[in-house]
Structure 1
Amino acid sequence: MKTTVKDKNLQYKLLDTESENNLFTALEYSERLILFIGAGLSKDTGIPTWKKLLGEIYLKAFGKEIEIEDGDELKIASQLEKQCVVKKIGFYDEIKRIINGRKLPHLAVHEHILKADFFSRITTNFDNVLDSAATGTLKNYNPQYWPRFRISHINTDCTCYLHGNVFVNDINNRIIFTEESYKEAYEETDYIKRLLSAITYENNILFAGFSFNDFEFVALFEKIFTMKKDEMWAEFGPHFILLPSSLREAEYSGYKQKYHDFLIALNVKPIYFIVEGDSYINLHHILDYFIRKMKKPQLLDGTI
């Protein structure tokens, strides 16, 4: 049952007082709070989901539509990359073309994210939303890319593109988008796992744009947490995750239930926001509110 949120600024945006309490608990840890950005934060910018993006490229490469199942994205991406070579289609050029074809609306929430005093920002997104928001907003924008990203960058107020950025043509920017690239990044070397393990252990994380039914999100955490020792778990976190309200009462099965329980056990506190239709605009509102309330905002113009 939904309970009334006490703060009027959050009313009709947060699901219940438990979510409100978790939000204010997150504020208490804001001095070492890292914002971990997932695809959901780009949902209201017009950029297609990973599945829809792959579907558009698949239609062009194979001349037919495809229904992509959860967990098959990497496999389909690998097939497409190979087929695009045969068809003489630039795979990553197609990704950029599709994203550029969407007119980005006003990116106020992303501008606020870049201005605010998060300890640093990490994203598994490969789009140009943050870069676009940084243009004309920040004097010193400090993006870092895999595989050159190091844990020391966390202390420099950076934005880390953990899986690369398709819009950056740089030898130090490697895109992790296919089965082969994931295997190289996560299995052939354990550097990303060790890096994320250290970050989640030494800092507090606010996850935005991820969910428990996001296959890649839970797979990522499986890789991280398998490296942790039992005795470390008692000291882990707290971390926080912004989730759509539909997941509050959702029935979990299989890996979804496993990881839902796993993350809760590891002190990742959910903050449920109410979804309006297909829009995640309340996610933006809550982040905006959170940034206004942070302990030490650092803004170029002194305002949000």
Structure 2
Amino acid sequence: MSGHLFIVHGDLTLLSCDAWLVPCDIDAMPSRSWTRSFSHLQGGSLRWAQPTEEWRRGTQRVLKVVEWEDHLPRPWVGNVGAVPSTDVSWFVAGAEEFIERVTDDLRANGSPPRNGRAKHLLALPVIGTRYGGKRHWTGDIVRALVPVLQRLAIAKDVDIALVSNDELTYASAQAQRGADPSAWPDLDEQLWRTGERLAHVAANGDLVLFIGAGVSKNAGLPDWGGLIRDLARDAGMNEEELGALKELGALDQARAIELRMETGMQPQASKRILGARIADAFARVHGYALSHALLAALPAREVITTNYDTLFERASNAAGMTVSVLPHEPHSGASRWVLKMHGCVTDPDNIVLTREDYMRYDLRRQALAGIVQALLLMRHMLFIGFSLRDDNFHRIADAVRRARVPAKADASSPVGRFGTALSLFWSPLEQSLWGNDLDWVNMQSTPPPAGRNEESDKAWAEAARRLELFLDSLLARTGTTAYLLHPRFEGALSDTERGLADKLQRFLDEVDRDPSVKSAPAWKHLEALLHRLGWPRTP
């Protein structure tokens, strides 16, 4: 699979990747907003790069920050600050140098992609559009930058994330790349058709996300096996007991550790300690994965997850969305809500972890199960990173099966099924269990390689990356035109967009000449539409 350009709505400093480009000026010092974002990662003290002679002469514009924590993405400072009259090509050249220097450095050091990704991921902002001098010409930067990054991703065989926390800039970059299948050559026709269908569902406001643990893997979260081993050692288990622990199921493993911790303490105290240890392990993860960022940008107001972590919520906040977390942090007026079926690390005392917790689930969380059932009946649920082996979900789904009216729900077609499951590999037995309920979409058409070895790790990484590509293509088809009437993005408009923008502007000029028409009841609806298209024209 060739390298790819991902368009990301979020916070550059929170994206898990191999390298960040941090904008700076000729002094090699980022602006205060950037230094504030990074300072907490190094305990408040951070030494940026030392300018070289080549840097001072202007023949080198990108420097590696050497003194940095190895478990974090590596920052590189890039001189992309100039005056408004500077040609757009100068800014684009700075981005090119970043990609070239970082890829050369990664290969010279033999550094593998972070967190088991199939390819290195390099992240950069839409350079020059904040303090770099070209803010009022953001569209011109986007128009020139996107095709160059697409070419470099293929030529250097790396993944590139162009990141913006500004909704209009993000929408403009998506539009510049477009939604032609040729931009995603690694997606076959079936995956592309499925994306078309899901994009239509999302555009109608009927898409609900169900996120499982698989989504968080590339963020560097500990896997269940490693987490259980660490917890067991903390509880005082020896090597023989660790071997016996592996023979138990996941729920019974957690319960066995909890029982060991109960020695000399109250049962509830051991529960709190176990939850606190899990919360502590998850808190060490700095940022969210690319998959979190892509999912967070989808137009889905309702999200369900079995994950304890808060990475999806962080990705949503970085994309400008407020999140209400059910059941422990609900609030009104949020952009979306996230239902945490098994609890959250922010409330470790109530994490659903052991078999006992699962058995008591219905008694304690009936209202949550009711919400899931209602969404399964009324919306189309998209399952990502979820094995569908959760006992609680089986009970909920069975209640939905019994509630559905056969005459109104044709289970022989995707329309009649209550959801779509995105799976990394074809799993005929498991998928047959849900064949009448879910439309299965596999990133690989064959089962995964047996065992745990280099070959199987590579296959899993490539399948996970294809899922990222699929989500990226889905986003490209759910984009907006929020930049259309904003003057900063005039340079990114196509000929047809510019023609439409001109006609709408003439209409607005007519309204300004006769503002009395704004008293008509219909004006507030027109005004809301114009705002969604980037009006009013403010810098």
- TM-score range for the pair, normalised by the shorter chain length: 0.7 to 0.9
Deviations 1:148-175 (A, max 9, x none): 879xx89962122121111347xxx832
Which segments of 5 or more consecutive residues in structure 1 lack a partner in the other structure?
A: 1-5
Q: Does 1:237 align with 2:432?
A: no
Matched, 1:215 2:389: yes
1:115 and 1:298 in contact (8 A); partners too: no
Q: Larger RCO: Structure 1 or Structure 2 (Cα < 8 Å, ≥ 6 residues apart)?
A: 1
Residues 86, 10 of structure 1: alpha-carbon distance in 2 compared, 3 angstrom cutoff: farther
Map 1:1-304; keep pairs closer than 5 Å.
7-12=181-186, 14=187, 16-30=188-202, 31-61=205-235, 62-64=237-239, 65-66=242-243, 68=246, 72-86=249-263, 90-104=273-287, 107-134=289-316, 137-146=318-327, 157-168=336-347, 174-186=350-362, 190-211=366-387, 215-216=389-390, 219-227=391-399, 228-229=401-402, 232-233=405-406, 234-235=408-409, 236-244=416-424, 247-248=425-426, 250=427, 252=429, 256=430, 260-266=431-437, 268-274=438-444, 276-279=458-461, 280-294=464-478
- With normalisation by structure 1, the TM-score equals 0.74
In structure 1, C-alpha distance between the alignment counterparts of 2:335 and 2:285, rounded to whole Å:
32
Q: Deviations over 1:62-95 (max 9, x none)?
A: 13334535x8111211222232243777212211
- Is contact 1:114–1:134 with CA below 8 Å preserved after alignment? yes
1: CA distance, partners of 2:397 / 2:481: 31
Going from structure 1 to structure 2, the CA distance change for 1:23 and 1:194 (only over 3 Å counts) comes to same
**Matched residue type, 2:261:** C
**SS across alignment from 1:198:** helix
- Return the alpha-carbon distance in structure 2 between the equivalents of residues 11 and 287 of structure 1: 14
Higher deviation after alignment, 157-166 or 71-80:
71-80
> Counterparts of 1:75 and 1:229 in 2: how far apart (Å)?
30
Whether the 8 Å CA contact 1:23–1:271 is kept in 2: the answer is no
Q: CA deviation at 1:29?
A: 1.1
Supply the distance in 1 between the matched residues of 2:423 and 2:353 (Cα, whole angstroms): 24
Shift of 1:195: 2.5
d(CA) in 2 for partners of 1:291 and 1:36? 17
Deviation at 1:102, TM superposition (A): 4.3
Q: Report how many aligned residue pairs link the two structures.
A: 272
Normalised to the residue count of structure 2, the TM-score between the two structures is 0.44
Query: CA, structure 1 residues 8+155, in 2 after alignment: closer, same or farther (shift >3 Å)?
Result: same
Q: Does the 8 Å CA contact 1:116/1:297 hold for their aligned counterparts?
A: no
Which has the higher mean CA deviation after the structures are superposed, 159-168 or 29-38?
A: 159-168
Q: 1:276 to 1:220 in 2, by over 3 A?
A: farther
Q: Using the alignment, how far apart are the partners of 1:155 and 1:237 within structure 2?
A: 29
Give the unaligned 5+ runs of structure 2.
Answer: 1-179, 410-415, 445-456, 484-531, 533-539
